[in-house]
A and B are shown apart, each in its own frame.
Chain A
Amino acid sequence: METYADWVRARSDEELHALLSARPELLAPVPADLTALAARAALPAAVSRALDRLDRFTLAALEALLVLPPPVTPDALAAALDATPGQARDALRTLRRHGLAWGDEAPAPAPGVRQAVPHPAGLGPPAREAFAGYSAERLAGLVTDLAGAAPRAFADSELLLRRLTELLADPADLIEDAGPDARAALEQLAWGPPVGRVADARRPVRLDTATTPIERLLARGLLAAEDDRTVTLPREVGLHLRGGRLTRDLTAVPPPLPAALPAASGRGGDLVVRAAAGAAFTAVRMIEDLLERWGLDPPPVLRSGGLAVRDLRAAATLLDVEEWHAALLIEVAYAAGLLTRSGDLDGDWLPTPAYDLWLLRDTAGRWTELAHGWLKSDRAAGLAGERDDRDRLINALSEGMARSNAPAVRGAALGVLADAGPGVAVDAESLRTRLAWLRPRRGGPARDRLAGWTLREAAVLGFTGFGELAPFARDLLAGDDPEPGLEKHLPELVDRVLVQADLTAIAPGPLVTGLRRELALAADVESTGGATVYRFTPESIRRALDAGRSADDLTGLLARHAAAPLPQPLAYLIEDVARRHGRLRVGALSSYVRTDSAATLDEILADRRAAGLRLHRLAPTVLASGLSRGDLLDALRAMGLAPVAEAPGGGVIVTRPDAQRAEPPPAADIVRLRPQEHADTSMITAAVRALRAGDEAARHGAALRADAPPGEPPRSPAMATVERLRAAARRGGRLWIGYLDQQGRASSRIVEPVRVEGGFLTGYDATRAAVHRFALHRITGVSELDEERTGGTDETAS
């Protein structure tokens, strides 16, 4: 009889490829052969993981396979699921592709599925199994009560169980007999889960001793005691209560998504893409603003590794957004590698050198980097500021933000957005319903929250506008370049401002960078959005003057960029502040010389020996020096003067601290990737070939060298192998090799050879994700991985 393993072995390369694409975790590490693959695919953990990927309908189809009497035809399945045969066939195709159902004629659930689904379709075990734990005596009592007469002869448990099953086949009268309150209890269990908890479930009850509703049910075999505290609804009873149906409110297609907001509809898709592009632009701007600030004034890294709540709040205030929004931007900057911690202990959060490169790109390019960072980040930014299970505050940028399923849920939510056509808006509720259909087993409040966060994050990052995915975001998700699509919708930069007599300046759009910096220096930002409103105050003007600008610089800047002449009040303000600015000068010096006679100071300054004293005349009778008091005293004495020490002049110092940068620590991976969710195609192709080879090897019970291309004369295997390894090391390609381990077991590895020397091959073992050394004499065969065989065997050394 054919087994699951036989079925797996009989799959074509394409089918194996499909299976491994659908369940990439089966490849870590690559199994030795197809039998091992089949065994692994049937492990409960692996099955459970595969079930997690099924949508509600396909899952129901699989559960129906467990419940329906075999063989199950597509028509029977369709009837049980209340769907069309086509839909049933599609579901079966999916199940076969995932290796969860097998058998080409009559589909059967793969081994392991039964264990992974304890209550298929919410039904309990058949009576035969449910009562299997009962003693023969108890069974005899049950059968006696149900049949109205004692069994004719002494029967063993097997016979009693069969008789009981027959008696329960049509339980309508029994249920009627048990009374309405008992029926209500059964209805509770009818649609699953089919188990209930009661005290002392195994108490022996007979019809005449039963008093409570549960006892009446137990006495009639309508409930079976599973253990001391659990009762189960036998499948026959459950199906009867459901009127024979396996499922309720099951749809073969996902629930529809609602139409777009009335405001957005009727204005065309242009509104969506413009809104999204606007948000994308704002997100990029905000991250730049924040990192610029942090480059100058970095927040410290908490001892626990995150960002202090106070600093998060300050960032939110700076950007004029809510805290979750600020936390998102910070996490995205981190995920995109623009931000990292400096040093080991007591470090700061600082922009990385990659940030400087990022700054050099145009807005669309910058957005793309941020978008990729967000997509792969395993942080849930929405958690910032909440408390974890142990009631500790979760800080932004800390490990507490990590949720391993975040990228998957984000991907699924964006997938829903991508599936929704134009004119269809996705809100949190419709997304929740859709995800509950698509991935019913991965549901729960945690996922719903993550999905909800994804929506609002997608909106502020510019993936969506008015709840719809923008075309450029669609391109990004499809793996295409979003930049051309984004670029043409980004707001145009302007280089003109409207300066007004009420001391405000309005930039009617995003400003070019240089002007933006200068204005931010000379005026306070009053409001942001499509435009920016700046207000000039004496303090802001002073700030610009402190940073080395002159009054003429400021009026010149405004005159160049303003449409109208400078309003008089502003000109007066600048002039007034400038007039007072610098009237008092403050400097630092280490010593001074004071005298009543200006002539003496003339004399000192004229003296050549005084050249090294770094003297500076502050006033006719005061000299300042950079030397310490002691040194100055000594030097003056050496010049023949007789100074005395006295208990405490300079220039304007332009103070602007240099922006700092931190190198990311060499080992720090900026984002932890989860590679097994997305194995690339070439990897899978290679693995399929490795499996095939391993299977060959296993079938022949001996290591087999790689099949040489047909038509080639046989070569010395060892020599050919070594040559091909060398060639691959030179080329930098990947190979699969057959390898015998120290116990003589054959295995297949995918290796990137680095060098071949001293009888060993050193290379990166992709199947084990580490660099390994392989003894050349144990390598049984080599095969190319890439589709085109580049004439490898011809490269024999001559």
Chain B
Amino acid sequence: MSDGPLIVQSDKTLLLEVDHDLAGECRKDIAPFAELERAPEHVHTYRVTPLALWNARAAGHDAEQVVDTLLTYSRYPVPHALLVDVADTMARYGRLRLEKHPTYGLVLASSDRAVLEEVLRAKKVKGMIGERVGDDAVAVHPSERGALKQALLKLGWPAEDLAGYVDGEAHPIDLAEDGWELRSYQRDAADAFWHGGSGVVVLPCGSGKTIVGATAMARARATTLILVTNTVSAHQWKQELLRRTSLTEDEIGEYTGTKKEIRPVTIATYQIMTTRRKGAYAHLELFDARDWGLVVYDEVHLLPAPIFRMTADLQARRRLGLTATLVREDGREGDVFSLIGPKRYDAPWKDMETQGWIAPADCVEVRVTLTDSERLAYATAEPEERYRFCATTDTKTKLVQALVDRHRGEQTLVIGQYIDQLDELGALLDAPVIKGETRIRERERLFDAFRAGDIDVLVVSKVANFSIDLPEATVAVQVSGAYGSRQEEAQRLGRLLRPKASGAGARFYAVVARDTLDQDYAAHRQRFLAEQGYAYRIVDADTVLAGDEI
């Protein structure tokens, strides 16, 4: 009986025993074709999905390699049917190819006529294709390139896009490595993206995804459109680009609610792109305003559905997606694959932590017990009000105060979902509150003050969930959240993960009301992080209030 580190399950999950001597090699070998699903302390779970296998094909791996890897590392016999299935699935990728054609422009070509016939007969594909070019190819309307890829993926015959990209309008961009250095994984990620043409890079919060974007831009040396989640994030992108590249203030435009600048590098928000006026998207022309050579999607896990549709028309341009958590609560990972591109780079959070690229974090779930009167009120609350109620109880407020007091002098964020609760906490802690209605200028002033250390406690709503760079924040207290959202929890922790100047670790508190919906949601929210290897400790509120060591 061989003693490999890998166990292949019949549902196509791979269990990797991390303490095994060969675990490191095995991880490297299976990473191209298996998605990391969970990475808790002993056994990591990977899943071999069709998408992952096609990702591997796109990256140049073949079925024999995959089968060989599984057989080499597997501790138990690998089910034959699974190997056959792997080979079959991988063989589906590339049977259809999108190619350039001298007369027809873009054609869908196939070496397997039966497959071509099958997809041509599919209802979804009708209308995207033009006339037949010989037996083995069919013309494709260039505008349908993305939609066709999306449809073919759904049919299980993903097309290999060999039609290439337009170079776009050239614009000189260089990295300006003065006083900082490109980290090796950032270079690897940018390389992997560039060789693949288009695709998604997955890196933890705080590990410098913006720099990967900047590096990609320096590779493309062309006009670039950057889509980000909100205005503050747009400003941060701009600051970061000014710092890291040869770009000057005049070359970077902002396209937001307040400014409508179109410059060689333009940063726009999802919100402005999806704004509709009289039923039509008001700012669609931005995509055609210049001959963009590169489109960067920040936080691709949040990409709104309309942006997907717009992206379908941008298939001739290079596209880079950036995210920390490629989990979409709406399950549209397939659209990310077909429209933005396959996953090109991925690194587990804990690996980055051990290498010192992100700060170590200590996650603590503090359980508070509701008072009897609160329990009664909770029990009789309307079902739709129950979560709000248990998430905003006075008992919690008291505990938050105790936690903040305990960490006086450290840069502390208090994060919550409900504005009333945040206002109350702000008053109690004598700290400024940043919420949706806070003006951008005010927000930035407060963030700057926080970064500078003039303010040490900041109460923030979900507006600060993403892309807000607060390097010196070391403590976060989460009092309430958007139900059971896994990625929100991860993103909030991500606010703390920038390496600290002091080298200290970060602490993340989730305050949870015991025996209520709050606890159930918390369990679900923590899954992503637990799967990334962040083990929550559970501490009783009494321990905190008594001032004991946590």
Contacts and interface: CB of A to CB of B under 8 A. Distances in A.
Interface string A526-541: 0111110100000000
B7 A529 contact: yes
Contacts of A492: 1
A568 interface: yes
A671 B68 CA distance: 43
Contact of A500 (B42, B77, B78): B42
Interface residues of A, number: 41
B80 A467 contact: yes
Nearest to A489: B1
A568 B537 contact: yes
A498 B11 contact: no
A172 B77 CA distance: 64
B74 interface: yes
Interface in B501-531: 514-515, 519, 527, 530-531
B13 interface: yes
A271 B2 CA distance: 10
B42 A529 contact: no
Interface in B470-516: 514-515
A529 B11 contact: yes
B71 interface: yes
B371 interface: no
A568 to B, nearest CB: 6
Q: Which of B43, B68, B74, B515 has the most CB of A within 10 A?
A: B43
A580 to B, nearest CB: 7
B76 A263 contact: no
Contacts of A509: 75-76
Interface stretch (A275-283, A341-349, A657-665, A692-700): A275-283
Contact of A527 (B13, B40, B78): B13
B535 A263 contact: no
Contact of B40 (A320, A465, A504, A576): A504
Given A492-B1, A502-B40, A530-B74, A508 B17 contact: yes
A148 interface: no
Contacts of B537: 568
A501 B41 contact: yes
A685 to B, nearest CB: 44
Contacts of B64: 262-263
Interface in B83-135: 83
Interface-centre pick from B1, B75, B514 (highest chain A CB count, 10 A)? B1
B244 interface: no
A576 B519 CA distance: 11
Contacts of A527: 9-11, 13
A279 B10 CA distance: 11
Contact of B71 (A263, A491, A508, A530): A263
Interface in A97-120: none
A465, A491, A506, A529, most chain B CB atoms within 10 A: A529
B530 A501 contact: yes
A320 B79 CA distance: 14
A725 interface: no
A745 to B, nearest CB: 60
Contacts of B81: 459
**Most chain B CB atoms below 10 A, which of A320, A467, A509, A530:** A530
Nearest to A575: B538
Contacts of B77: 271, 274-279, 465, 530
A528 B11 contact: yes
Nearest to B74: A530
A533 B8 contact: no
A757 to B, nearest CB: 62
A491 B80 contact: no
Interface in A484-534: 491-492, 498, 500-504, 506, 508-509, 527-531, 533
Contact of A576 (B13, B75, B78, B515): B515
A568 B538 contact: yes
A154 interface: no
Interface in B41-74: 41-43, 45, 64, 67-68, 71, 74
Most buried by B among A527, A563, A568: A527
Contacts of B308: none
B350 interface: no
A761 B537 CA distance: 86
A248 B15 CA distance: 55
A465 B536 contact: no
A580 B43 contact: no
A569 interface: yes
B530 A529 contact: no
A572 B538 contact: yes
A580 B515 CA distance: 9
A267 interface: yes
A528 B9 contact: yes
Contacts of B519: 576
Scoring B71, B77, B531, B535 by chain A CB atoms within 10 A of each residue's CB, the highest score goes to: B77
B166 to A, nearest CB: 41
B40 A530 contact: no
B238 interface: no
B38 interface: yes
B535 A529 contact: no
Contact of B42 (A267, A491, A498): A498
A503 B43 CA distance: 12
Nearest to A262: B64
B71 A267 contact: yes
B515 A529 contact: no
A763 to B, nearest CB: 52
Contacts of A274: 1, 76-77
Contacts of B17: 498, 508
Nearest to A274: B77
Interface in A230-276: 262-263, 267, 271, 274-276
A567 interface: yes
A564 interface: yes
A467 B67 CA distance: 16
Interface in B16-46: 17, 38, 40-43, 45
Nearest to B45: A533
A276 B76 CA distance: 11
A508 B7 contact: yes
Nearest to A500: B40
B57 to A, nearest CB: 17
A56 to B, nearest CB: 30
Nearest to A319: B10
A569 B530 CA distance: 10
A399 B424 CA distance: 74
A569 B536 contact: yes
Interface in A443-488: 459, 465-467
A279 B77 CA distance: 8
Nearest to A278: B77
B2 to A, nearest CB: 8
Interface in A302-321: 320-321
A491 B10 contact: no
Which 4 residue pairs spanning A and B have beta carbons closest together? A530-B76, A529-B9, A278-B77, A502-B530
Interface of A: 262-263, 267, 271, 274-279, 320-321, 459, 465-467, 491-492, 498, 500-504, 506, 508-509, 527-531, 533, 563-564, 567-569, 572, 576, 580
Interface of B: 1, 7-11, 13, 15, 17, 38, 40-43, 45, 64, 67-68, 71, 74-81, 83, 514-515, 519, 527, 530-531, 535-538
Given A275-B78, A498-B17, A501-B536, 18 more contacts: A274-B77, A275-B77, A320-B10, A320-B11, A500-B40, A500-B41, A502-B40, A502-B531, A504-B38, A508-B17, A527-B10, A528-B9, A529-B76, A530-B8, A533-B15, A533-B45, A569-B530, A569-B535
26 contacts: A263-B64, A271-B71, A274-B1, A276-B77, A279-B79, A492-B1, A500-B42, A501-B535, A502-B38, A502-B531, A508-B15, A509-B75, A527-B13, A528-B9, A528-B10, A529-B9, A529-B13, A530-B9, A530-B76, A530-B77, A531-B7, A531-B9, A533-B9, A563-B42, A569-B536, A576-B515
